[in-house]
A and B are shown apart, each in its own frame.
Chain A
Amino acid sequence: MNTPQKSEATIAFRDVRLGFDEGDIVHELSFEVYPRETLVLLGETGTGKTLSLKMAAGLMRPQEGEVNVLGHRVSEMSEKELLAFRREIGFVFQEGALFDSMTVEENVAYRLREEHVPEEEIEPKVREALRFVELEHAIDMVPSELSGGMRRRVSIARALITRPPIVLYDSPTAGLDPVTSQTIITLILRLRDTYGVTALLATHRLQDGFALANFYFDAASNRVLPNREKAAEKSEADSNTRFVVFRDGKVFFEGSTEEMAAVKDSYLKRFLV
């Protein structure tokens, strides 16, 4: 386990169990995410990745164990406390989960309007967030007019509008073509390296994780560059991305990029293909 940061974990799961009528989905689940770190949750469908994200956001409550996020014991907070707490978290849902009866502008501005931010401050912030995801031209469109990739980008803009310190990504590249997937990963890199967010990213595509671990966004050149071009900071950059592999509702493997790339286990190798 590679946890070079010594500071307190931003997100910490301890012996978490959650199940339904069919049985436990996750059990004895423990992992930690440190400030400015991206933890990639890998696993096959039904292994509890999405549930873990929802528990981190307090959308689901574990039956046993503790979930601590930003110093809050999320697993024991009331719904009212959780509603306030969730404003510190950005959540990018698998299909975007945009409100289909609202325009892109209304979707992105949703949180600001809920917080009664003055209207004259909303438009510049919405435009800035949409510019970040390169979709300023789509401001008046409705979700049904957007492609799958555009919806994810709007969802990212909606998540970052209040500059939350934590962003949770639920399979952000699922069902997208390779080029669009790359665009989404680039955005996640930009968000990480521009705003320094702590991220939990659930995916079944290892290449997403490797892209986050091996590349960085260079604000000066406005380009995504390999970490080797940033030789002096390479070790630090690498350590900012770790992998957790779920199997049977538990953490089966936890480690750095190099450890993940060097695995011999047949189950883990499935993700390397």
Chain B
Amino acid sequence: MCRKVVAEQEHVADTPLQGIGKEPPPSDVVREASISEILTGSAKEAVLRVQEYSYLAAQSVANIFSRPHYVQDTLDQMDSIGVGSLPIVLLTGFFIGAVMVLQTASQFVRFGQTSLTGDAVALALVRELGPTLTSLLVTGRCASGIASELGSMLVTEQVDAMRAMGTDPSRKLVTPRVVATVLVVPLLTTMSDFIGLVGGCVAAVFSLRLGVVQFWTRAIDALEFSDIMQGLMKSIVFAFILSTVGCYKGLTVRGGTQGVGRSTTQAVVISSVMIIVADTFLTKLALYMADKLF
């Protein structure tokens, strides 16, 4: 449980890194670290990581307001993240919409109110499932891709080469990915919402024998401006989270190719957890704002 710490600074140079031609350090220069030291060290490390992440995230936004801009890189990323994710987002959205109809209808049928299915599905999709599921799908596909791509560039010294040639990696690599993700995820969410309603409609028509016009009328009438704003606001925040976490984990890879794999996994796990945690607070905020503003 305890790890060794070096007691005297002057003995640090005797570690294996510096040990050419030297005897190993005598055993009395190391001692067991106390639990409080371990906890303090871990806490400091965690705070440092949060600080580094916050700095990178802030830098990625600040870069937008000064030159140089990498427009072509941003467009390339939009193509890769947006167009590339479209099939899985649409396919998943369709079946989520259908499943939602089947699940809600099984409850509404008890009260003889299956016509309310359109309302429930529209609200659930636009407010919650559309942005959250789309972001989680993009996280699985793109946060991992960003982390592995940047991580590989880091371990093969391409990031250093970029800096050595006078290019700021946060401008060239991070900002285009963050901007592209923040622009395309709301678009993907909108398409996912629509195709989800189409899936819901298909399920409602064939399973509940509801009319197409009836389903769409109720679904559209149930939605208010605040619901759409809530969904879009969430998708923007989730996109920012998944892209910045992907970039951060990629640019802080340690330990070669094995480290790239580890960072890729961490990028997906951390982004997913952060998205779901942020969702709770954003929902509360959105409901509060809807009450006050709309």
Contacts and interface: CB of A to CB of B under 8 A. Distances in A.
A195 interface: no
B213 interface: no
B164 A91 contact: yes
Contacts of A57: 164
Nearest to A54: B160
Given A44-B20, A95-B156, A99-B158, A59 B13 contact: no
**A interface SS class:** mixed
Interface string A90-108: 0101110111100000000
A111 B172 CA distance: 13
B20 A86 contact: no
B20 A93 contact: no
Given A47-B20, A83-B166, A247-B20, A97 B157 contact: yes
A22 B15 CA distance: 7
Interface in B139-187: 153, 156-158, 160-168
Contacts of B161: 91, 93, 97-99
Interface in A221-239: none
A87 interface: yes
Contact of A23 (B12, B22, B160, B166): B12
A109 to B, nearest CB: 11
A147 B168 CA distance: 29
Contact of B17 (A22, A89, A267): A22
Contacts of B16: 22
Given A22-B17, A47-B20, A97 B156 contact: yes
**Band of interface residues on A:** 20 to 34
B36 interface: no
Given A57-B164, A114-B167, A95 B17 contact: no
Contact of A248 (B13, B157, B168): B13
B112 interface: no
Contacts of B153: 99
A110 interface: yes
**Among the interface residues B16, B22, B163, which one has the most CB atoms of the partner chain A within 10 A?**
B163
B157 A23 contact: no
Contact of B163 (A27, A47, A59, A100): A59
A249 interface: yes
A54 B13 CA distance: 21
Contacts of A71: none
A267 B160 contact: no
A45 B156 CA distance: 18
A73 B51 CA distance: 28
Q: 5 shortest A-B CB distances, which residue pairs?
A: A23-B12, A97-B157, A97-B161, A91-B164, A87-B166
7 contacts: A24-B13, A24-B18, A46-B17, A83-B163, A83-B167, A91-B161, A97-B158
Interface of B: 6, 12-18, 20-22, 68, 153, 156-158, 160-168
